[in-house]
Amino acid sequence: MKPEVILYKPIPGDLVQRLETHFEIRHHLLAREMPPEFYKDLSRSEGIIGSKLKVDSHLLDQAPNLKIVVNTSVGYDNFDVEELTKRGIMATNTPDVLTDTVADTIFGLLLATARRIPEMHHYVRSGQWNENIGEELYGVDVHHKVLGIIGMGRIGTAVAERAHHGFKMEILYHNRSNSPYAEESLQAQNVSLEKLLQESDFVLVMAPLSDETYKLIGEKEFQLMKKSAIFINGSRGEVVDEKALIYALKSNEILAAGLDVYEKEPIPKESPLLKVKNVVTLPHIGSATSETRYQMFRLGVDNLIKGLNGEIPPTLINPEVLTKKREESN
Ligand SMILES: NC(=O)C1=CN([C@@H]2O[C@H](COP(=O)(O)OP(=O)(O)OC[C@H]3O[C@@H](n4cnc5c(N)ncnc54)[C@H](OP(=O)(O)O)[C@@H]3O)[C@@H](O)[C@H]2O)C=CC1
Ligand SMILES: O=C(O)C(=O)CO
């Protein structure tokens, strides 16, 4: 009998076939409330693959045979890693394969917000372009400005490379640890959050969602930003207090915002954020190109196969699980 695994995200057919050579696949689709059949399958499954499913003690209590949970995303804020580790369950994500694609998206969003590209597109398409444009339609420059990055990790660094080499921008960053590469190669400076907010023309959030970063950017932080600042969120919606963002935009505390992520996704049609003029919105498409999504799914499948075949999954988040198992078997 092949081990049972749950696949709760549509992935390319050739990768499903690869999984089928190793496992009995139980197909489900992610929903706010997973149906009883999901929990029935979960009680027998050794692995789960997909993204965004909340994996906490409540779910794990119903998964006595689980050995590995596989995210097909780099972010893993949906996992209670401490609880998984305590229970000896491996957790994996998909770093690196999406870094450049996400950095391209973020830089595109930054440019689109500064130069008001979606608004100008609408202006032309709707037949409003009848004479030379006036200064009410001007944007602001990106080149030679100061970019502040909160979370100078893989993606933050790839954005900083584009900003430094392509746009001659000055880079400030805020991390808990230093990035020698960013400092030496991109002349980036690690500064306090306060200094970053006060001195940046563009503020980019790229830090993962955690207890520490939940609503990291709120009322006080928007007040510290320049009135001409453009705020970009590419990480997770919950890192920002959305109400405070709306207030900051409406009261001209900041100039504009470019968002790929939201407190609630998909963002509700009636969200007040969609009524604010100076916001550019994307539907969480940071990594959404055919090539990159394929690589993310492929890496997820590799993690699942290796993890359940007694090998080390290539991108294991909690290697302590294996160390503990080795110690127990000695
Ligand atoms: N919009 C989209 O489609 C996508 C969004 N993402 C989001 O981007 C995030 C980052 O991905 P990636 O760059 O690969 O991850 P990394 O782990 O490489 O980078 C995260 C960075 O954030 C820093 N960080 C963590 N906690 C804090 C904190 N409390 N304060 C300040 N900095 C902090 C870390 O540095 P240090 O530990 O030194 O503090 C690290 O440099 C993902 O977790 C995900 O949420 C990712 C892909 C696509
Ligand atoms: O990988 C992630 O964390 C995403 O948000 C989707 O690419």
- Domains of the chain, start order: 4-97+291-329 (3.40.50.720), 99-281 (3.40.50.720)
Beta carbon of 99 within 6 Å of any ligand 2 atom: no
Looking at ligand 2, which residue's alpha carbon is closest to its atom 6? Answer: 73
Residue entry with tokens 């490379």 = 161
The residues pairing with 7 across neighbouring beta strands, listed in sequence order, are 27, 49
Percentages helix, strand, coil for the chain (3-state, rounded to 5) are 40, 15, 45
Cα separation, 315 vs 42, in Å, equals 23
pTM score: 0.98
**Token pair 């694609």: residue:** 101
Structural tokens at position 67: 């050995």
- pLDDT band of 16, cuts 50, 70, 90: very high
pLDDT in tens, 235-257: 999 999 999 999 999 999 999 99
Residues with CB under 6 A from ligand 1: 74-75, 95, 98, 102, 150-156, 174-177, 206-210, 212-213, 234-236, 260-261, 284, 286-287
Q: Are strands 170-174 and 47-50 parallel, antiparallel or unpaired?
A: unpaired
Q: Does 330 score more than 80 pLDDT?
A: no
What value does the mean pLDDT of the chain take?
97
Q: Ligand 2 pocket, 286 CB below 6 A? A: yes
User: Could you give the 3-state DSSP secondary structure of residue 14?
Assistant: helix
Report yes or no: 57 and 64 within 8 Å, Cβ to Cβ.
Answer: no
Q: What would the mean pLDDT of 285-290 be, rounded to a whole number?
A: 98
Please identify which residue in the block is written with the tokens 């009410």. 136
- pLDDT tops 90 at residue 194: yes
pLDDT at 329: 78
Active site residue 236: yes
Question: Residue 323's pLDDT is what?
Answer: 86
CA end-to-end span of the chain, whole Å? Answer: 29
- Give the tens place of pLDDT for each residue, 73-127: 999 999 999 999 999 999 999 999 999 999 999 999 999 999 999 999 999 999 9
Tens-place pLDDT, residues 310-325: 999 999 999 999 987 7
What is the predicted pLDDT for the residue at 242? 98
> Ligand 2: which residue has its CA nearest to atom 1?
73
- Ligand 1 centroid, distance to 153 Cα (angstroms): 6
